[in-house]
Amino acid sequence: MPEKTTHSRWVSNGKLMISGEYLVLSGARALAMPVSYRQTLTVEKRPASQPALDWRTQVKGNSWLQTRFSLPDLESVTQPGEGTQEADWAQREDGSQQRYAPPQQENRSRKESVRFVRNVLRAARELNPDFLAGQYHWEAVSDIGFDREWGLGSSSSLISNIAWWASADPYALFFKVSNGSGYDIACARSSRPVLYQYQGTNTPPHVETTSFNPVFGGQLVFVYSGRKQSSEKSLRTFDPGIVRPEDIRDISALSQKMAVTQNLAAFMEAMDHHERITAQYLHRTPLQADFFPDFPGSVKSLGAWGGDFFMAAADRPREEIVCYFHHKGFHTVIPFAEMRLHPDKTTSK
């Protein structure tokens, strides 16, 4: 009897690091949380005389790139832009469609994305030689449920999904293709916030789930800076070996405090203390001092300083906090309750 077509689906969470950025690579405990924005990977497999993998990436349901990988070498045999992509079509006034070339930067981003997907697939096969083996045609669709520029983990949630597909260890796969701490993999697979401790690429991390659902969540917001920041590039400028042991201990204690405190003033004090410690190693001025000195609360950078989201807290009504950042020109302001992953939503495989 001929083999049947099979269908598989995996879902991984996006992430935010609340505390411990940069110093997590020195062994400090970090507080991180899975977010409600997620990435889904759907794979169809059917017998074929000529093995190949058709890959498509969607962003919030809209096709962003598509390419074909030959097998077994996993070379891209079509370039991004050669396929029919929604982003590459425009509407004429008469209702018909015409093709247009995507902007140079967007096309470059697509090509970089294809290279990244190929590298992850190759690394997954190194971990499991049976992955993508045999006479099959695969069709894979990865749907990112949030804007790619937000820095919420479009790469790490993809790595997690591919690891599930390949039956590979997600941390081993992450460390093959990334220079980060791996906290985002913990978030991709967790239904709750985590206290994360990096112990090197050859030792499993220490991951402890925590609550981090403060009663003052209504006074806590996440603001998109409008600037995409590459964590990979940011980490290249940071030397984990220069961090003083006392600062590692302080950051770990601050992460623990921020995870459990139900006092807004104590939480904001921890935010400010964390910014001062981190700033000295990055030789940067804390974000609030640079841009929001008149904000009636505390502002903390998240992840790679200078881009993506930052966190703001104040003993003011949420509407007032949101209005402050809108007046400053920041229009993507997401309340804590909307950003956090609720317990009824879990990762799936």
Cα torsion through 119, 120, 125, 128, rounded to 10 = 150
Measure the CA–CA gap between 32 and 198, rounded to whole angstroms: 12
Domain 214-339: homologous superfamily in CATH: GHMP kinase, C-terminal domain (3.30.70.890)
Q: What is the pTM of this model?
A: 0.88
Which residue's structure tokens are 């006479």?
A: 135
Q: What 3-state class would DSSP assign to 123?
A: helix
The pLDDT of residue 97:
38
pLDDT of residue 237: 72
Q: Break the chain into its structural domains and give their ranges.
A: 6-83+103-207, 214-339
Q: Rounded to the nearest 10 degrees, what angle do helices 154-166 and 170-177 cross at?
A: 130
Which two structure tokens, joined as six digits, stand for 95? 């209702």
Could you identify the residue written with the tokens 């921020």? 258
Query: What string of pLDDT tens digits covers the 349 residues of the chain?
Result: 456 778 899 999 999 999 999 999 999 999 999 999 999 999 999 999 999 999 999 999 999 999 999 999 999 887 655 443 444 433 333 343 333 344 567 778 888 999 999 999 999 999 999 999 999 999 999 999 999 999 999 999 999 999 999 999 999 999 999 989 999 999 999 999 999 999 999 999 999 999 999 999 999 999 999 875 555 555 667 889 999 999 999 999 999 999 999 999 999 999 999 999 999 999 999 999 999 999 999 999 998 887 689 999 999 999 999 999 999 999 999 999 999 998 765 555 5
pLDDT of residue 286: 94
pLDDT at residue 83 in the model: 42
Tokens in use for 213?
Answer: 């659902």
Q: Which fold has domain 6-83+103-207?
A: Ribosomal Protein S5; domain 2 (3.30.230)
Is the preceding omega at residue 72 within 30 degrees of 0, hence cis?
yes
pLDDT for res 230: 53
